[in-house]
Chains A and B, each alone.
Chain A
Amino acid sequence: MLRDLAILLEELQQGLTSAISDPALDMRITNAQILLPVDMRIIFRDGGVVLQGDVQRASDDQHWFDGFSRLQIEWQEIPVEEVLL
């Protein structure tokens, strides 16, 4: 069951934020790059087109894929005030 791509991005960001806010981490991360194999599809919902995408959940049941799409995201640390809503 694939989810909306936005949910995947939110979870990735949440994971990154949690990682750097660990007090035991004795360093500061300002940039991060993530490269993931993803499964993507397009569905029609709410009168429009919605892009869904997710990482593979298990490695042993994906053999029918000829090749995965790849999603590469570069994150950058910025002050919260600069984030536009």
Chain B
Amino acid sequence: MSSDIPRLLQDSGVPFDMFIQSLTEQLDKAQAAMALKARVGKLPLTFAVKDISLDLRAFVQLLEDEIYIRPAGPGDSEASTIKLGLTTITKSMVEENAMDFEVEDPKLSLGDALGKSKESEDLQRRLEKIGVRNIKQLADLRKTAGTDVIARLARFPHNRLQQLLKIADLPRVTLEPRRTIEPQRAMEPRTTREPQVAIDPRTVKNPGAPIEPGIPMEPGMPMGPRMPIEPRMPMEPGVAINPRVARIPRMAKEPGMPDSIGKQNIPNRTPAPNRFRLRTPLINQNKLLRVLAGDREVPIVELKEGEMVLEPLVSQLGSDATLELGNGESLKIQLVDGYVGSESKEHSEDLSKNIPGGQT
């Protein structure tokens, strides 16, 4: 190795995974260059690497639970031999054997949750060795294996594991992208014989409740991109139509008024109510869940394991709410974009330090 590399590093070599990466990188480079040459040369057939095996004479060391290897050089004796075999694999085989690198929510990274210290790095490595790379995976593993098994397999202190799992359980609220209702489609004449009904989502969620007036925008209130929603849905035969729900608001036509007047008074795009996505591993879709803000229930418009979408009333926006988990337990949340809950004062301090922009 080069003389400008620190002596300790030269003696130790490189971590084994880095060595494998460098080997595959060289193979990829060679394969790409060979393919390019074959295409430029307009040859019908060419040779590609099918299998490659390497008997590498090297020195192997174990440093901080990682395997380091250093290829033997001139004058080195009694080196070990590492036998490596590589073969050509298909794209589907790569996908089957690759780790699932889903986009990681930065607020759920192990590094942030554990904090920045030498001990934390060691704990993070222990979890990574059993395949846990983020907080969500840890919460998932708790459901299938239990905390005792995780602590034993990862040689992880129980108190730190409980602390991590509490952070994993914290409810997180984000504002959904704003949708709009396209009134043109709702107003177009019916062309089929199928009975159809235009539904105002606010009316459906709270039958009989008065429709809230327009939402005054406050400074800092987020406005997401607008998305159209389907204004009509086919009605099942035999379903009674609620006239309050089915009626499409129109301006009454005065005698002598042109036909287009009513359409002119309808805004081109109607903003849909704000929706918030609430995430926490404690949400069990098989339980009877409720979210209460003040003395009224917050409508749940979408529910799946670990998350739900809420459509609060205007008066509930920004207010404190309670998520009832259906097992006698409940969580305090706020209907505010970017809210991150806290189980205790200790966690709230941790989060405010570790999660940029997190509100507690």
Contacts and interface: CB of A to CB of B under 8 A. Distances in A.
A55 interface: no
A35 to B, nearest CB: 9
Given A9-B49, A42-B70, A44-B1, A71 B54 contact: yes
Given A6-B33, A72-B54, A84-B35, A16 B26 contact: no
Contact of A68 (B23, B25, B32, B57): B57
Given A13-B47, A50-B22, A64 B79 contact: no
A71 B26 CA distance: 14
Interface string B22-50: 11011101111111111100011111111
Contact of A66 (B5, B30, B72): B72
B146 to A, nearest CB: 39
Contacts of B34: 9-10, 13, 83
Contacts of B54: 69-72
Given A42-B1, A44-B5, A76 B27 contact: no
B83 to A, nearest CB: 9
Contacts of A51: 19, 22-23, 25-26
Contact of B36 (A7, A68, A79, A85): A85
B74 A65 contact: yes
Interface in A38-85: 40-44, 48-51, 64-80, 83-85
Contact of B48 (A21, A40, A78): A78
A41 B73 contact: yes
A76 B162 CA distance: 55
A80 B26 CA distance: 21
Please indicate which of the listed interface residues B30, B35, B72 has the most CB atoms of chain A within 10 Å of its own CB: B30
B53 interface: yes
Contact residue range for chain A? 35 or more
Contact of B46 (A7, A17, A65, A66): A17
B45 A74 contact: no
Given A13-B34, A14-B37, A69 B47 contact: no
A1 interface: no
A5 B1 contact: no
A70 B14 CA distance: 20
A66 B78 contact: yes
A15 B301 CA distance: 66
B296 to A, nearest CB: 57
A69 B27 contact: no
Interface in B64-116: 70-79
A15 B359 CA distance: 65
Nearest to A28: B45
Contact of B13 (A10, A42, A65, A84): A42
A17 B331 CA distance: 69
Interface of B: 1-2, 5, 13-14, 18-19, 21-23, 25-27, 29-39, 43-58, 70-79
Given A6-B33, A17-B43, 17 more contacts: A5-B26, A9-B27, A9-B34, A10-B30, A10-B33, A13-B47, A41-B1, A44-B1, A64-B75, A65-B74, A66-B57, A71-B54, A74-B49, A80-B35, A80-B39, A80-B46, A83-B34
- Please name the 9 residue pairs, one residue from A and one from B, whose CB atoms are nearest each other, closest first: A9-B30, A6-B29, A76-B50, A83-B35, A5-B26, A6-B30, A51-B22, A66-B77, A70-B55
23 contacts: A4-B29, A5-B30, A7-B30, A9-B30, A9-B34, A13-B47, A13-B49, A17-B46, A41-B71, A42-B1, A43-B1, A44-B2, A48-B22, A50-B26, A51-B19, A66-B75, A66-B77, A69-B71, A73-B52, A74-B49, A74-B52, A80-B45, A84-B31
